Amino acid sequence: MILNDGNPIMEKKTTEEGKERRLELLRRYYPQADMVIDRFLSDVPARKKTDDVVDAMSLAVMGMKIYEYGMITIPEKPEMDSTGLLMQMAVAATPECRKMMEAE
């Protein structure tokens, strides 16, 4: 959603349409996204499940954006779960993300 200007992709990532929508988005940030998928499938031809690779590429793109813009958390002041883990998401502090956060 953060990489897609605040718009969630509603199709499930395991469907062909959902995978393609996510890949279209990733290609904006990483034009070689299809090459990564092709390599994944060619290394072990029995692999048919690409949603984990799409997830990994999404995290890598977000990591690049965090490196470039710094990081903010959602929510800004997270709660802690019963094990002491902060219940938050870390995202890139891009101008678009900051504007989206201010609008809420």
Q: How far is CA 103 from the centre of its chain?
A: 21
CB of 91 closer than 8 Å to CB of 72: yes
With vertex at residue 92, the alpha carbon angle to CA 86 and CA 93, rounded to the nearest 5 degrees, is 100
Tell me: the pLDDT tens digits for 20-61? 999 999 999 999 999 988 888 887 766 667 888 899 999 999
Give the residue-averaged pLDDT of 48-76: 89
Predicted TM-score of the model (pTM): 0.78
Rounded to whole angstroms, the Cα distance separating 74 from 61 reads: 18
Q: How confident is the prediction for the chain on average, in pLDDT?
A: 88
The per-residue pLDDT for 11 is 95
Pairing relationship of beta strands 71-74 and 89-92 according to DSSP bridges: antiparallel
The per-residue pLDDT for 64 is 92
Per DSSP, helices labelled H in 44-103 are: 51-69, 95-103
